[in-house]
C-alpha cells in the first residue's frame, strides 16, 4: 500500500456516488449523474487497487470505516411541480448537448452506480454505502421501466 494520504478519496467517492444516485432517482440531470457516477467508480477502483491485499487487515478496515462514516449525505429537498417540469426540459437539453440519448445516459449511470456499490461491498464497506446508492441500484436492477 503506497500511502494513507489517498484514503480521503473514499469520502469524495461516497459523495460522488451519493449525488449521482440522488440525481438518478430524481430523474435529474442524466449527464451530470453519469459523470459523477463514473468519477465515483474510478476513485473506488483506484482505492481498491491501492489497498490490494491490505484491504482485509483490521487497521485498513478501521480506517476505511472511519473515513466512510465521517461522510454525511446532504439532504435533497423535494421539488415543486413547476420546478420539476422546468428542470425536466433543462435535463433533456443537457443530455442532448452531451451527445447521449437520455436512456443511454441513465443506463450508463446505473452501470457505474452498480460498479461503485460492488466495489464498496468488495472492500467490506457495505455498512456505509449511502442509502440513495442502495435505492438507485435496487431501482436499476429490480424495478423494470414502465412502457408508456
User: pTM for the whole thing?
Assistant: 0.71
CB 9 within 8 A of CB 40: no
DSSP state of 27: T
CB atoms within 10 A of CB 109: 26
**pLDDT computed for residue 102 by the predictor:** 66
Q: Note the pLDDT tens digit of each residue in 84-110.
A: 444 444 445 444 545 566 678 888 999
d(CA 116, CA 12): 12
Q: Note the pLDDT tens digit of each residue in 51-73.
A: 888 888 888 888 887 777 776 55
For the residues 36-63, what does the mean pLDDT come to? 86
Nearest 5°: phi and psi at 44? -65, -40
d(CA 13, CA 49): 14
In the block, which residue shows the cell 487497521? 59
Amino acid at each position: 500500500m503506497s500511502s494513507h494520504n489517498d484514503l480521503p478519496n473514499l469520502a469524495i467517492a461516497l459523495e460522488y456516488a451519493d449525488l449521482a444516485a440522488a440525481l438518478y432517482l430524481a430523474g435529474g440531470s442524466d449527464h451530470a449523474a453519469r459523470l459523477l457516477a463514473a468519477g465515483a467508480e474510478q476513485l473506488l477502483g483506484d482505492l481498491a487497487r491501492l489497498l490490494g491485499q491490505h484491504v482485509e487487515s483490521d487497521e485498513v478496515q478501521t480506517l476505511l470505516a472511519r473515513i466512510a462514516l465521517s461522510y454525511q449525505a446532504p439532504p435533497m429537498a423535494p421539488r415543486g411541480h413547476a420546478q420539476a417540469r422546468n428542470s425536466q426540459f433543462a435535463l433533456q437539453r443537457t443530455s442532448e448537448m452531451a451527445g447521449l440519448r437520455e436512456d443511454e445516459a441513465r443506463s450508463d449511470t446505473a452501470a457505474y452506480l452498480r460498479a461503485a456499490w460492488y466495489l464498496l461491498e468488495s472492500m467490506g464497506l457495505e455498512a456505509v454505502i449511502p442509502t440513495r446508492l442502495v435505492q438507485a441500484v435496487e431501482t436499476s436492477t429490480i424495478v423494470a421501466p414502465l412502457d408508456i
